[in-house]
Structure 1
Amino acid sequence: MSEPRWLDATQQRDWRAYVDGSVRLTEIMDRDLKTKHGLSVSEYEILVRLSEAPERQLRMAELAENASQSRSRLSHTCSRLETKGLVKRDSCPNDKRGVFAQLTDDGFAALERAARDHVETVRTFFIDVIDPHDLEAVGRAFGVVLKKVGPTT
């Protein structure tokens, strides 16, 4: 077995800053969304993806990939959103195995309310504290990372 390619001190510092920063940012976004709107970050992300889709609906498999969730986790999250009346699921008329998730009117209204606060949190703790050139570099870097890791399974 070959020796691992250990990180040097600078790489370790940058990696830890990313891990710690992303975990803390997600905690802040989750806390704010739950406190103000009764939504978790993963629930919010599902509502966003559905709001951007044609007719505000996606097949569950496509939604899982777009929202970066496993199909099992997505199913549980959509069940919670259905209970809240924000999403409904229906069978695909031309595919017996397929299921659509659709954003309800109440779900769209909840998303509109939550988005106003959420964007302020994103700006306060991410966009406004990063130099525009660094922000562009972050976008490029994670575009490459997303290509490397591929779709969620």
Structure 2
Amino acid sequence: MTEVSQIPPADWEAWAQFLGMHRKLMRRLDRRLQADAQISQADYTVLLALFEAPDNRARVGALGERLAWEKSRVSHQVTRMQTRGLVTRLECDTDGRGTWIELTAEGKRTLLGAMRDHARAIRETFFDVVDADELQAIRSASARVLDRLGDD
């Protein structure tokens, strides 16, 4: 018998609904960001991480850890964002091989302009749909799963 058969069909259905909701929600939020702020969800995620980082900058590895992205994905994303003036690369003064990724003034302006509309989109598509008990169940389940996964 395979591992799959040990999961009841109703649980598979719940898993499929969860994945479908996540994909569709992320796609909707990405489209809204594109329309409202002319940035992608990936752009927003990087901008927010840098905005929250000390001195609005981080090394590629640290940014990847924070976002749970591979270094190559971070590097490619940063390159695209750099060409649009949202971030810049700076040499690391303590490590000649390393670079800092820093939020530019344009990146900060873009992020701050996007935040209100993005929060509204999240409220409309998620928080306005789930009630307080459901939100607590999501919060609790997410915490348990994250605890099980630990640090990668």
Q: 1:80 Cα deviation (Å)? A: 1.1
Cα distance in 1, alignment partners of residues 68 and 141 from structure 2: 18
Q: 1:151 Cα deviation (Å)? A: 4.9
Residue matched to 1:59: 59
Residue matched to 1:114: 114
Alignment root-mean-square deviation, CA: 1.6
Residue matched to 1:90: 90
Cα distance in 1, alignment partners of residues 36 and 44 from structure 2: 12
Cα distance in 1, alignment partners of residues 50 and 119 from structure 2: 18
Cα distance in 2, alignment partners of residues 79 and 151 from structure 1: 27
**Structure 1 128/87 Cα, relative in aligned 2: closer, same or farther at 3 Å?**
same
Q: Name the aligned partner's letter for residue 38 of structure 2.
A: G
Structure 2 unaligned segments of length 5 or more: list them. Answer: none
Aligned partners of 1:65 and 1:151 also within 8 Å: no
**Structure 1 46/82 Cα, relative in aligned 2: closer, same or farther at 3 Å?**
same
Residue matched to 2:2: 3
Q: TM-score, normalised by structure 1?
A: 0.90
Cα distance in 1, alignment partners of residues 73 and 27 from structure 2: 18
Q: 1:145 Cα deviation (Å)? A: 2.6
- Identity percentage over the alignment? 32
Q: TM-score, normalised by structure 2?
A: 0.91
Q: Name the aligned partner's letter for residue 3 of structure 1.
A: T
1:43 aligned onto 2:43: yes
**Structure 1 84/32 Cα, relative in aligned 2: closer, same or farther at 3 Å?**
same
Q: 1:137 Cα deviation (Å)? A: 2.1
SS at match of 2:58: strand
